[in-house]
Structure 1
Amino acid sequence: MSRLFSLILVIVFASEAVSALDFCVADLKGPQTPAGYTCKSPANVTVDDFVFSGLAKAGNTANLIKAAVTPAFDAQFPGVNGLGLSIARLDLAVGGVIPMHTHPGANELLVVTQGKILAGFISSANSVYYKTLNKGEVMLFPQGLLHFQINAAGVTSVAFVSFSSPNPGLQITDFAFFANDLPSKIVETTTFLDDAQVKKLKGVLGGTN
């Protein structure tokens, strides 16, 4: 019983010590764990760890999806490590799209700052929620649900997205199916697409097999 009590005291004091930290700036040279990066020594922390300038510049949209996401996650912005939040910039050229994707580790909040964006998500009950968002409008995407963003204007559209995690994770459905070496026969069986469609999509997205 005394051993159990001692163990409980150790756990309590350890958790209090962690919660007493003002911050845990990521040590990008150290290991990354499921809980985030290990902390940089406070003696080496500077104001630059809490400032990120990368979102001021538009991302390069000269690509297949005509879109760019500029992240300010813990790997780019060490100050957010352990704080339960992060942000990114989304640039969508005319015709640009962020395909169906999920963030397994975070909720997402999007605010449009330029143009118009058609955005939506699908619930686990397969209910669909989508709307064309104008400048200044905000939309929420719950954690783990499939969602998308499409440029709905005749000009480049821009949004900023915040997340409830310093590393929200990302899986793009199209790439998960067609940008790897999963055998085409399995893809065809699980998606009900025919062989020609699967091979075409693998060709476009870089998949094999």
Structure 2
Amino acid sequence: MSECKSGVDGEIPDAIGFRRTGYDATDGSVLVEVKTSRADFLADAKKSHRISGGIGSWRYYMAPKGLIDPNDLPMGWGLLQVNERGHVKALAGHATYFKGRHDEYLRQACLWRFLDVDVSREQFLLVRALANTGDPQKVLIMLREANNRAARLTAAVERIAKALGLPQHTSSYEVERTARLLRQRIEHDFNKMSCLTTDIARHG
């Protein structure tokens, strides 16, 4: 959801997403506030919902590269940096651990989580979203299909990880990286063998 008021006089998040899987460590909401100027970033800290309460179990600023220094962030806030090509990189927050070890990611998710979340305003946003959904049953079917597809992909990643001799629950990023390194090694050995075969044939 984006640019939707969280109540009659509530804050208007630039973007917020919700996750509910039944796993408390990662369930919650992620708030993203986009800043394109230094003045806007500094003024944001003075808002009442930044001082106490507010929405978002995890909160991030998103800004162009160099606009916000991680050392200038309010306590508990993360930073998403956007470079000239539009690529987003997490510089602070639990998202920086997403591609690492799963247990460390869960630990960081707990450390970066806001506990004083204004749940009533988040509920207001969810009700607004539901009102604009259309047919809830159709959405439910789509979610089930997406979850089933995610489960199949997870199982496929685990099979590949096992075939590569990687530990259980290795992230898809690590699986891809290991597979890429293995492919490069095979290509290197193949090229080396081809050169050796050519030399043997040349010298009889």
Same fold by TM-score greater than 0.5: no
Q: TM-score, with normalisation over the residues of structure 2? A: 0.23
Whichever structure has more strand as a proportion of its residues is 1
Relative contact order, higher structure (CA 8 A, sep 6+): 1
Q: TM-score, with normalisation over the residues of structure 1? A: 0.23
Larger Rg: 2
Whichever structure has more helix as a proportion of its residues is 2
